[in-house]
Amino acid sequence: MEKAYRKEIVLWEIVFPLFVYYFMHLLIMIIARDFIGGENEKYMLCQIIADLITIPVIYFMIYRKCKNIVNVYEPSLPKRIADIVMIVVIFVFISWGGNNVIVMSPLVQMSPGFEQANEGFYGSVLGIELIGSGLLSPVLEELVFRGIVYGSLRKITGMWPSVFISALLFGLVHFNIVQLIYALMLGIVLALAMEYVGNVYGAIVGHMAANTSAVLRTELNLGMELTNQSFFAWIVSVCILFLGIGLLYGFVIRKIRH
């Protein structure tokens, strides 16, 4: 009875923060777009405003109350820096290769919402996109989906169910098939980053690296020839993706052994 009651409490710790995050952020976005304008070039500025207001609410009212550091340990500063560097490298490779593979697949044609979303994400100037997509969105989303959702699920299920459920929820909030699949893949890796770093900052850093690399690649046209659907583009993109997965595997194995 007590165990079932505890599960209900933990599930409420997941449902309520998701409700607050989604509807509060959406409401602020709507208000901001009414005042600033709904053009694509102003979308990211509206998102920045919504992120700046929602992050303190999520952190101080919700995350701080139910935060769950999965593996509690205090590594030395050099080890923390080494972890951060490795996470950045892993997520740049996985994001770059995964994005290329998905963009070259038939999924883009099956998802009209993907093009519409991209027009908003990449409709502003580089600096605004780096602040919104590269900095603030990762902080907010990781506090919610890894810090709260994954951390709370981890109390009542094993690691892998928590990894997949939190990643699935993360994918579902993106509302188009391309971003759902990419976010699902990325969400799995982000949960592993939190698990084996022992703190949500591992996931935040990884998410920042993935989003920042995507913004820079798109706005500066870096390596876009690797999305032209040629045999060479497929081979290189798949190799980049598997290199990132291999580095992730090595990182996890090293953490388990230590």
Domain boundaries defined on the chain: 2-257
- pLDDT (0 to 100) of residue 135: 97
Non-local (6+) Cβ contacts of 103 within 8 A are 178, 227
77-104 and 200-219 helices, crossing angle to 10°: 50
- pLDDT (0 to 100) of residue 72: 47
Length of the chain: 258
The answer to whether 148 and 17 are in contact (CB under 8 A) is yes
Residues 248 and 97: their CA atoms lie apart, in Å, by 14
Amino acid (one-letter) located at 48: I
Q: Profile the chain (258 residues) by mean pLDDT over runs of 10 residues.
A: 57 86 94 87 92 94 67 67 94 95 84 72 88 96 94 87 95 85 94 91 96 92 87 95 97 87
